[in-house]
Amino acid sequence: MKSNITINIVLLLLVVGLGSSCKKYLDVLPKGQKIPTTLADFEALVRDEYTNHRAPVTQSVLLLNDRWESQSNLNYYTLWKPNYMWDESANRVSLNNADESTYYTAYAAISTFNLILQYAPSATEATDADKSTLIAQAKLGRAMHYFILVNYYADTYEASNAASKLAVPLIESADINAPFKQVTIQEMYDYIIKNVTEAIPDLPVKGATIIHGTKGAAYAFLARVYLQMSDYDKALSYADQALAQNAQLFDYPAFYTSYKTQIEQAGVYPSLPSPRGYDYIENYIMMHGEVIYSKRDWPLRVDRAARFETGDAQLASRWKLRTVGADTYYYGITTGRYNEGGITTAEVYLIKAECLARKNDLAGAMTALNAVRVKRIFPASYVALTASSTQEAIGYIRRSKENETLFGIVAFGDLRRYNKDPLYARTYTKTENGVTVSLKPASPLYTMPFPLGAIKNPGNGTIQQNVNQ
């Protein structure tokens, strides 16, 4: 498959020398004959953020209408418009011939981590402990990318049918043209959990950087995985273990106060420093979204901004209502880097809150939720929430979590999970250019089609498309 054939060339070039021209090394280095040998070689691969720590999930973000998009972009990118406009009549399989970044970015990272797992045990200039840590971090990184793939290209997890529905190709080798199997959803989840649980004993409490896996990141990730499987006991257990490692929450009302004059100046759209970058106190592990370079926060649709709680300082600190010509949207007023694909403490608090609500511990659920809310809502608007039912509690938790996990795979995965339960299934409706459209809970749009490139060039295996169109 394309990811196995082309990505390994990239890895070889990275080992030889970052920053030099690809053509130069392709001319002098036979493919497949240079592999990393020292711990420093492997570390260079781990630190390649563009390849290994990026999680573009553009089509799911567009489908959820979590960001505003211009008409010109919708017209230019062929796959964008059907998802953004909830057009079930469009043949997304045939249209997915260019927007393949989710698939190939994930498999590029998986190829890197496979290479590390394959060769790091014999690394030179490294202690056994160094090698064990590197291997553990590779297992966690690989699992995180497989979680993105299975929640993007396959149906959502349901215990009743996960063993019979196909997921995505499972590739465990970095060798060019290595054989692979398209496993079931259950097999993929089992594999993800196995990788992370094996990794935990050798993961450090603190990583070399925020992109290096740690015990806290592994606990938090397992909490995410088990919640997606509706295993609330295990999700709660891992959430508590993650919070024991890091329970800090960022104070958005204080952030707003620091920049109040700039934010409130009429007609001015400042470029405030993004708090959600490498040093965000809520980070367990950092993973970029579509891009890794410094950028302005994605714009929000007006109807999406309306789903923030009244008095939400995060909304007020990150976006400002703007009209340009015929378009009105919430314009991003922070610039920098954003942990859109990684894991934060806010997500884990809200995982804990949902698990407690599912177990009918409503007081405990609201305590976990309010711990996040008090750091998000302006004091003048803040009132501690209480709930009289599990359904009411989850409604509150869900509102906060949707806002905390904007632009990443979690918001998409959560919605698909809720849509399987009639109590929580949601139909979205909007009117765009005079046309009213809806996105129903059972819409086939909730599963993304494999790219045509992967279907036509599967490499040493076969791939069965998971959607009809």
Parallel/antiparallel/unpaired status of strands 327-332 and 319-324:
antiparallel
E-strand ranges in 207-348 read 272-273, 283-285, 295-296, 319-324, 327-332, 334-336, 343-344
Q: Is the pLDDT of residue 28 over 50?
A: no
CATH number at residue 118: 1.25.40.390
pLDDT digit string, tens, across residues 371-414:
999 999 999 999 999 999 999 999 999 999 999 999 999 999 99
How far is 208 from 136, CA to CA, in rounded Å? 14
Mean pLDDT across 100-123: 94
Question: What pLDDT was estimated at residue 36?
Answer: 84
Instruction: Label residues 31-49 b or e (16+ Cβ within 10 Å = b).
Output: eeeeebeebebbbbbbbbe
Q: Is the pLDDT of residue 220 over 70?
A: yes
Amino acid at position 337, single letter = R
Range of the domain at 144: 39-250+341-460
Which pLDDT band, with edges at 50, 70 and 90, does 25 fall under?
Answer: very low
The CA-atom distances, in angstroms, between 392 and each of 161, 402, 424 are 28, 16, 10
Helices (H), 77-210: 80-84, 92-95, 101-119, 128-153, 185-199
Q: How many domains does the chain have?
A: 1
How far is 144 from 108, CA to CA, in rounded Å? 13
Please check whether residue 85 lies inside any domain of the structure: yes
Q: Is the pLDDT of residue 23 over 90?
A: no
pLDDT digit string, tens, across residues 243-258:
999 999 999 999 999 9
Radius of gyration of the chain from its Cα atoms, rounded to whole angstroms:
22
Q: Is the pLDDT of residue 24 over 70?
A: no
Please check whether residue 67 lies inside any domain of the structure: yes
How far is 77 from 83, CA to CA, in rounded Å? 11
- Which residues, at least 6 apart from 371, have a Cβ–Cβ distance to it below 8 Å? 249, 349
Question: What pLDDT was estimated at residue 363?
Answer: 98
**Cβ atoms of residues 226 and 413 within 8 Å:** no
Question: What pLDDT was estimated at residue 175?
Answer: 87
Q: Is the pLDDT of residue 12 over 90?
A: no
DSSP string, 246-275: ------HHHHHHHTHHHHHSTT----EEPS
H or E stretch at 430: strand 428-432
How far is 132 from 347, CA to CA, in rounded Å? 28
What percent of the chain is modeled with pLDDT above 90? 84
Please check whether residue 26 lies inside any domain of the structure: no
Please check whether residue 25 lies inside any domain of the structure: no
Please check whether residue 401 lies inside any domain of the structure: yes
Please check whether residue 87 lies inside any domain of the structure: yes
β-partners of residue 439 are 428
Question: What pLDDT was estimated at residue 3?
Answer: 40
Q: What is the mean pLDDT of the chain?
A: 91
Q: Is the pLDDT of residue 18 over 50?
A: no
- Which residues, at least 6 apart from 241, have a Cβ–Cβ distance to it below 8 Å? 219
Please check whether residue 434 lies inside any domain of the structure: yes
Question: What pLDDT was estimated at residue 19?
Answer: 33
H or E stretch at 372: helix 362-373
Question: What pLDDT was estimated at residue 266?
Answer: 96
How far is 420 from 156, CA to CA, in rounded Å? 9
How far is 437 from 428, CA to CA, in rounded Å? 8
Q: Is the pLDDT of residue 99 over 50?
A: yes
What percent of the chain is modeled with pLDDT above 70? 92
pLDDT digit string, tens, across residues 142-192:
999 999 999 999 999 999 999 999 999 999 998 888 889 999 999 999 999
Q: Is the pLDDT of residue 130 over 70?
A: yes
Please check whether residue 330 lies inside any domain of the structure: no
Which pLDDT band, with edges at 50, 70 and 90, does 287 fall under?
Answer: very high
Query: pTM for this one?
Result: 0.92
pLDDT digit string, tens, across residues 200-210:
999 999 999 99
Which pLDDT band, with edges at 50, 70 and 90, does 16 fall under?
Answer: very low
